[in-house]
Amino acid sequence: MRHTRNIQRAAVAATIGLAVSFAPPALAATGTTSDALRSAVSADNIMNHLEALQEIANANGGNRAADSPGYEASLDYIEQALEDAGYDPVRQPFSYDRYEFTSAALERVSPNAETYTYGTDFLDMSYSGAGDVTAGLAAVDLNLAGDRASTSGCEAGDFANFTAGNIALIQRGTCSFRIKADNAAAAGAAGVIIFNQGDVVPGDDRLGLFGGTLDLPQAAIPVVSTSYATGAELAGLSGVEMRLAVDAGVSRIDSFNILADTGGRADRTVVVGAHLDSVSEGPGINDNGSGSAAILETAIQLATTDATPTNRIRFAFWGGEEDGLIGSEHYVSQLTARQLKDHAVNLNFDMVGSPNFVRYVYDGDGSSFGEKGPNGSALVEKVFLDYFKSQNLPVAPTAFDGRSDYFGFINNGIPAGGLFTGAEDLKTAEEAAVFGGEAGAPLDPCYHAACDTIENVNQIVLEEMADAIAHATLTFGMTTSAVNGTAKGNGAGNVDLEYKANKLLK
């Protein structure tokens, strides 16, 4: 999972009330409950899988990143466990260009020379072009007053008076970073500095330094991001000359998803997914070994029960998530219009054992964030809310922001939902009062770090979330009613997504 999550804290209080009184969990089908499967899926067994993933990382340079020996060994482990349970797992290959960053520099040559520090004052944009340029700085359609609403760089006309060869100073807002960068390149810019928008949005940092992505293919010119304060300062100076340098490229990556099916109706396929790759900085045991291990154990225990799914359940272990949701998007991209219609729902589980957790449920009906998932996503949310209510466990909403592997599904009209226990965001005092833990501390203090080890998993919440995963998997696997989704075979979802992988898109 990837960069600052956009959680509206005010929505928490309105949602946690859903879990304070008893109600029976939604039934999987007439006469069918999830009791047996939930009892069989245990945190102890999930931790055994996580121990194995930790050992794999230890033996392979400390990580399980895409296209690494650690990822290959993780694939082998998942495949063997599925085969032992009676499944016939299939590897789905895919290839992509991965952004490879080496270094970056940003300096104000004049007036008043200043060198900016990478990681503190500025960042490269993922898929930035390479280059080392020294040139004048030219502001592009900025709005530094009032509400600071900005369309800076979003239209070719913004560059009508731009002098080719200059570095463009562009304000964040409205359109994607890629559109801004491409418009600047088309106008002859030698490089781009995109600074934060500068307004105040609850739960969304529009002032500080931010990380963003231009997405594939690699941009034609170097592009970096900086804070509102830095951008506004540069905009207020006359005759600014800057040096901007980015050393970066792309490398070709060959990777795999693993898919394993139960029997059941193929025209109502239930995809239960989690990503298997870690970042290169660490072993990725919470992000996202926890989700992978939880759905693996669900698959194993499902195979031992007497339940025969009415609908095909496809357990999916995605690759390339940390590089931009590559594996899951490849999967969806290979589906025909008919096959899209045959996908009833996607259940996504990205990080379900965070140490300083909140129990987040995706806001399928849009009641908390104003943007609902594709038709049927509200039902997915309700299944989770009803379940947690039956267990007297409080929950909070989280938005479909494009930051995990549901992205490709909801963009193609397939209803989705899932669970999440938190990444780098700080727990609020309100959340601490409801869920326990430490206010003001990260939900996962080892997010994307070397310390995301077996010691970085809260086994209590892992058990709770795993039970909910088992319940929802069986519920949608056994239902005899259609999940109302994919109304337009190739139709896109109606969610205005701002993230893709761990980077902002706009």
Q: pLDDT digit string (tens) for 109-147?
A: 999 999 999 999 999 999 999 999 999 999 999 999 988
Q: Pick left, alpha or beta for residue 203 (phi over 0 → left; psi -120 to 50 → alpha; otherwise beta).
A: left
Q: pLDDT digit string (tens) for 263-301?
A: 999 999 999 999 999 999 999 999 999 999 999 999 999
SS3 499: strand
Contacts (Cβ under 8 Å, ≥6 apart) of 201: none
pLDDT band for position 24 (50/70/90)?
very low
82-102 in b/e form (b: 16+ CB < 10 A) is: beebebebeebebebbbbebe
What's the predicted TM-score (pTM) here? 0.86
Residue 27 confidence (pLDDT) above 50: no
Distances (CA, A) of 141 to 145, 180, 210: 12, 11, 20
Q: pLDDT digit string (tens) for 464-499?
A: 999 999 999 999 999 988 787 654 433 344 455 666
Q: DSSP per residue over 59-110, as a string?
A: HTTT--BTTSHHHHHHHHHHHHHHHHTT---EEEEEEEEEEEEEEEEEEEEE
Q: Which of 406, 387, 374 is nearest to 484 (CA)?
A: 374
Q: Calculate helix-pair angle for 377-390, 459-478, nearest 10 degrees.
A: 130
Burial class (CB in 10 A: 0-12, 13-18, 19+), 123: buried
State both tokens at 477.
Answer: 């696997």
pLDDT band for position 32 (50/70/90)?
low
Determine the Cα–Cα distance for residues 314 and 311; give it in Å rounded to an integer.
10
Q: Are 452 and 360 in contact (CB under 8 A)?
A: no
Q: Give the distance, in angstroms, between the CA of residue 183 and the centroid of all CA atoms in the same chain.
A: 27
Phi–psi pair at 193, nearest 5 degrees: -115, 120
Q: Report pLDDT for 8.
A: 41
One of 321, 329, 424, 464 is an active-site residue; which one? 321
Q: Give the distance, in angstroms, between the CA of residue 449 and the centroid of all CA atoms in the same chain.
A: 16
Q: pLDDT digit string (tens) for 84-104?
A: 999 999 999 999 999 999 999
Q: Report pLDDT for 443.
A: 97
Determine the Cα–Cα distance for residues 319 and 323; give it in Å rounded to an integer.
9
Q: Are 461 and 284 in contact (CB under 8 A)?
A: no
Q: pLDDT digit string (tens) for 34-54?
A: 999 999 999 999 999 999 999
Q: Report pLDDT for 504.
A: 76
Tell me which amino acid residue 186 is: A
Mean pLDDT of 183-200: 95
**Strands (E) located in 343-500:** 343-349, 360-362, 396-398, 416-420, 499-500
Q: Are 308 and 302 in contact (CB under 8 A)?
A: no
In what helix (H) or strand (E) does residue 371 lie, and over which residues does it extend?
A: none
Q: pLDDT digit string (tens) for 288-343?
A: 999 999 999 999 999 999 888 999 999 999 999 999 899 999 999 999 999 999 99
SS3 394: coil
Determine the Cα–Cα distance for residues 472 and 462; give it in Å rounded to an integer.
15
Pairing of strands 122-124, 223-226: antiparallel
428-441 in b/e form (b: 16+ CB < 10 A) is: beebbebbebeeee
Contacts (Cβ under 8 Å, ≥6 apart) of 149: 143, 173, 174, 199
State both tokens at 205.
Answer: 């940092």
Q: pLDDT digit string (tens) for 431-453?
A: 999 999 999 999 999 999 999 99
State yes or no: is 241 an active-site residue. no
Share of the chain above pLDDT 70, in %: 89
Q: What angle do CA 65, 66, 72 make, to 5 degrees?
A: 90
